[in-house]
Amino acid sequence: MGRPISQALNELKGFKERADYMLSIADEKLKNIYLPEKENFKNYIKRIPMGVSFIIAPWNYPYLTSVNSIIPSLAAGNSVILKHSAQTPLCAKQFMNQQKKTLPNNTFNYLHLNHNDSLKIVSDKRIGFVSFTGSVSAGYEVQKSTMNKFISIALELGGKDPAFVRHDADLENTVENLVDGFFF
């Protein structure tokens, strides 16, 4: 895992909380949306699976960031290919071991790939959605690799954003979280 063992339990707790919440709202959020009828014309939005989701997860929060794409993708009826960072290969294996207990065969898979091979998967016509968490430069490469097809892509790109700290903030807690955010 990409963080100290002392912080691993908090990440796994956050993972479970997010997964439980997303699963609890999935049926409601994935229902068809019916709009007012106009001149005998029915308008609605139907949610359909996108096919295969390719999720490229980072090293720093290998469970917490990947759950944000894995659970919604699976709940929406997609299959998932997970590519974790080379620094956290066992996290992908843990996902695979857990999914074997609940999901049909070949619904969830993982690959260990280098950057160039990852981009080949991104550009593959069989991929219907890409989620990438990582650097701005790598995100640009991922985005470029999807230009030959119209698919949804989610990019969570790194950076060092400023933080506003109010005068009445709990400084001990604030500093701890800002330092954690900076390094991880």
Q: Which CATH class is domain 5-183?
A: alpha beta
CA distance 42 to 146: 33
24 Rama class: left (phi>0) / alpha (psi -120 to 50) / beta: alpha
pLDDT in tens, 79-133: 999 999 888 888 888 888 888 888 999 999 999 999 999 999 999 999 999 999 9
N-terminal to C-terminal alpha carbon distance within the chain: 12
Q: What is the pLDDT of residue 11?
A: 86
Give the CA-trace dihedral at 23, 26, 28, 30, to 10 degrees.
-170
The alpha carbons of the chain give a radius of gyration, in whole angstroms, of 19
Sketch the domain layout of the chain as residue ranges: 5-183
Q: What is the pLDDT of residue 131?
A: 97
The pTM for the full model equals 0.84
- Six-digit token string for 39: 């001149």
